[in-house]
Amino acid sequence: MLYDNALLARAYLHAWQRTGKVHYRQICEETLNFIAREMTHPDGGFYSSLDADSEGVEGKFYVWTQEEIKKNLDKDIDLFEAAYGINATGNWEGKIVLQRTTDDATLAARFALDSEQVPVKLAYAHKKLLVAREKRIRPGTDDKVLTEWNGLMLIIFAEAARVLDNEDYLSIAQANANFLFTELRPDGQLRRAWRNGKASSEVFLSDYAALILGLLELYQTDFDIRWFTSAQELAEEMIEQFSDPEGGFFDTTAKSAKASTLPLRPKELQDNAIPSGNSLAAEVLLKLDALTGNAKYRKLAEETLGLVSDFVGRYPTGFAQWLSGADFSIHNAKQVAVMGDLGRDETQALLAEIRSSYRPNLVVAQSPYPPEEDSPALLKNRKLKNDLPTAYVCEGFACKLPVNNAEELREQLNQ
């Protein structure tokens, strides 16, 4: 499922940032590389899912026998078998699902290798097995492109692009955003689903909220002003079409509600396999407030968060996305304005410092000086210090003294 990969890849990226464990980064990268290779439309949309079965047999495309592995790996077979605990009986219905059983350090000691040689040798083996697997009959692909699920995947590709300094991930994120605006917003109206050139007629709150969050992450990666202005435009549409006067948002538009046989407009609050539309919308509003200073966004966000205040303490695992939004709201998110051309080394040094640590409650805006007219309000009236690229660290639009170097910026960010 596309959404599983999106949410898990992001969790592993954050885990790597917090712990420094290389294995977590590897899982994130391998997950995103899999999506790019297996579940991406040539024009940039992400497919919904891949089947578990092929030729009528569950897992046939993905599992191995010991004999098949030995046939395809002419060298380092002992290392590979030790890494994955491979034996003739397998670990799933007589077959082998490749699951690591031994870490790199143990393998290096056992086979008298330098620690950095182990992942290189295993990666070479993986490539050989991948080539062999491509000769099999592929499982079916659900090639629908869903706006909500694509928005969730756009978030992680954009975030991983800047955190891992990966231009390929950035290109994938940009292509995806362009695809969604081209194919899933015909005539300026956002839609939920697309397949073979045809978009559906319906759209839901979660489609808007997930896409807006993806656009905001992409803006904070490449600082292309169109992603920010598009996010604002979609947010206004979301408020207009889905707002509930009693707080929060309905899941459907008023138009679709009239055509429905349901007596009430649905309004799901609990986070399930995917965050609820309302919890995503709350995060949208909080981040837009932090970038724009528009009090309307903050007011709507707080009203939305208030919907679940009686539940989150008793059932936290059912409201995880809500808790993330509440944390952002309560702890006075840091706002960083960076003034300076992206082509200058000094600007890149400031951005590299911002991205060097896991800082979930932080938003960043950047522009050459002077800022463009449609730039986030966070950038307005921010002058250059010493005619050099300059960073302002703010909370509630109240800013510390401007700085020109990464060391001073780090000190302010850590306060």
The 10s digit of each residue's pLDDT in 357-373 is 999 999 999 999 999 99
Q: What angle do CA 52, 56, 62 make, to 5 degrees?
A: 40
Average pLDDT of the chain?
96
> 10-residue block means of pLDDT along the chain (415 residues)?
98 98 94 97 98 93 95 91 96 95 95 93 94 95 98 98 98 98 95 97 97 98 98 98 96 78 86 97 98 97 96 94 96 94 98 96 97 96 97 97 98 95
Sole residue written with tokens 């015909």: 186
In sequence order, the 6+-apart residues with CB closer than 8 A to the CB of 150 are 2, 45, 46, 176, 180, 184, 210, 211, 214
Query: Domains of the chain (ranges plus CATH)?
Result: 52-139 (no CATH), 145-330 (1.50.10.20), 334-413 (3.40.30)
pLDDT tens-digit series, residues 146-189 = 999 999 999 999 999 999 999 999 999 999 999 999 999 999 99
pTM equals 0.95
Predicted confidence at residue 300, as pLDDT, reads: 98
